[in-house]
Structure 1
Amino acid sequence: MAVNKELLNNSITKAITILNCFSYENPRLRLKDISAITGINQPTAYRLLNTLKEFNLIEQHEVSYSLGRGFLKYEGIVLNSMEIRRICLPYLEELSNNLKLNVNLAVLDDNEVIYVARAETPYCTYGYFHIGMRRPIYCTALGKVLVCKTPEVVSEVFKRDVNRYTLNTITDADTFLKEIEKVSLQGYAVDLEEWNNGINCIAAPLYDATGKIIAGISISGPTSMYSVEKLMEYVPILIDYANRLSARMGSRGGW
């Protein structure tokens, strides 16, 4: 039986569109919600959801749907395929052990910060974290270093609605552009309770051989233990590790 490739490709596109409509904010959706978000009519969406259920990529909960457990087996495969994660992990663990702080590695994905590795210490436990977690660029130190050379990304982000997570969250595009200009000049960024009350963070960029920022590393801790002054003492150490990792990525510095 011949397969209509155009029809198959169209179905795959629609199935991916359905999968992409789920998010941390909306982990469960009803059929009518999925249809409204994707623009796919309900009968077609229902048929595709049932097909995805057969492969455990979708789970049904009475009247709602969520992403299925079938995706979990891919997480380790994706993480193991990331060369930058493999190279950086020993450095993250060494830095975490030396400073008794949590150390994060993140990249830019779809104009958001996505965390791809973390080294944790029992001396600094706070909050909830998981690999693959996403955060906005405009209220995180990692976001600031990841876009400090690409203001066009900032302009795109601020075309959408931005949320004020704390009193310190930057919600004005011009203010943020001035902030990342400073980050670009000084070589590091700070997040002083901009994403989360009670958490301070500093971050530095990682460069590849072309001078492009490909990732960022950060250290963070609760304000009760790490005041602004205390955290700033670690800036030279963080930049040193960022430079060492950039060198591993082929950077010759001088950017």
Structure 2
Amino acid sequence: MNNTLVKGLAIIELLAHSDRALGLTEIAIELDLGKSNVHRLLQALVEARFILRDERSGRYAAAIKLWELGSAVLSKLDLRVHAEQIMDELLALTQETVHLSVLDGHEVVYVHKLDSPNPVRAYTQIGGRARAHCVATGKAMLAFFPPPVLERVSQQLEARTPRSITDPQQFLQEMARIRSQGYAINKGEWNENVCGIASPVSDASGQVVAALGLSGPKERFKPAQIKAFAPLVVSAAARMSRQLGARTSLPALR
């Protein structure tokens, strides 16, 4: 692959994931590149409208063009097409925010969501990310990974809240429980005030490709309510799996 292209993409990815604008020196240090090289790449990316430069501070940030491109891709994903009606029905049944997520490394990416009509609800955005081991959709997908993969993940757990699972043995036990019951629960592990429940979605090959879930304020996700939501979420995820060509349910969902 063209080396200049790779460096330019690295800059775009760095700025897209940064929660603030970055200066030339910061970018060069973060990517271990020469400042003159980075400066040339930044100029080209600004001209192409992939990034913006603040004239007063001289700092750089990702441009809306990245969102436009990402939205164009997301709108074409088969997952969203298959999920739309199912998510509508799940929202109508539960009145809680419905998420469709996929995995990207150790993070989940929210590819679609329907907001709860309640004034107090969980706030996320399409394209947003979260650590997979801290949210229900992420745990629902991770649980069906091969044991060697789960073992590696268990050694790289970071806390987001006091409720986040960071102990490797506890994490592996949680994965086994999810496989057994067919759904995962987030008990304030990403945001202390937000809980969730999710179930995995598989494709025609039997691979887990996504997760469908609900999230909302912890006051509305008490154990009794989670117990009531569980069969609805599992059923919705199983329906979506069948629409994607899955011929058999995942072992835990049969």
Give the structure-2-normalised TM-score: 0.90
Given the alignment of the two structures, is residue 92 of structure 1 paired with residue 87 of structure 2, yes or no? Answer: yes
In the alignment, structure 1 residue 185 sits paired with structure 2 residue 180: yes
Percent of residue pairs bearing the same amino acid type: 28
| Residue number in structure 1 paired with 2:67 | 72
Question: Corresponding residue for 2:205?
Answer: 210
Report Cα offsets for 1:175-229 as digits up to 9, x if no partner. Answer: 2122111111211111111111222211100011121101001112212233122
Q: 1:251: Cα distance to partner? A: 0.8
Q: In the TM superposition, what is the alpha-carbon distance from 1:158 to its structure 2 partner? A: 4.8
Runs of 4+ in 1 over 3 A off after TM superposition: 23-27, 151-160
Q: Deviations over 1:128-152 (max 9, x none)?
A: 3110010001111111111112244
Return the match for 2:244 from 241, 249, 253: 249
* Count of residues in Structure 1 that have an aligned counterpart in Structure 2: 247
Residue from 227, 230, 233 that aligns with 2:225: 230
Structure 2 matches for 1:68-217, cutoff 5 A?
68-123=63-118, 125-150=120-145, 151-160=147-156, 162-217=157-212
Any stretches of 5+ residues in structure 1 without a counterpart?
1-5
Q: 1:88-123 CA deviation, whole Å, 9 max, x = no partner?
A: 011101110121111110000122110001112212
Provide closer, same or farther for how the CA distance between residues 159 and 65 of structure 1 changes in structure 2, counting only shifts above 3 A.
farther
Q: Secondary structure at the match of 1:233?
A: helix
Q: CA deviation at 1:45?
A: 0.2
Aligned equivalents of 1:57, 1:94: Cα separation in 2: 37
Return the offset for 1:166.
2.1
Pairwise CA RMSD of aligned residues?
A: 1.8
Q: What's the counterpart of residue 3 of structure 1?
A: none
- The answer (yes or no) to whether the contact 1:97–1:121 under 8 Å persists in 2 is no
1:53 Cα shift?
A: 0.3
Contact 1:139 1:195 in 2 (8 A): yes
Asked if 2 retains the 8 angstrom alpha-carbon contact of 1:111 and 1:153, the reply is no
Q: Structure 1: how far apart are the matches of 2:233 and 2:159? A: 28
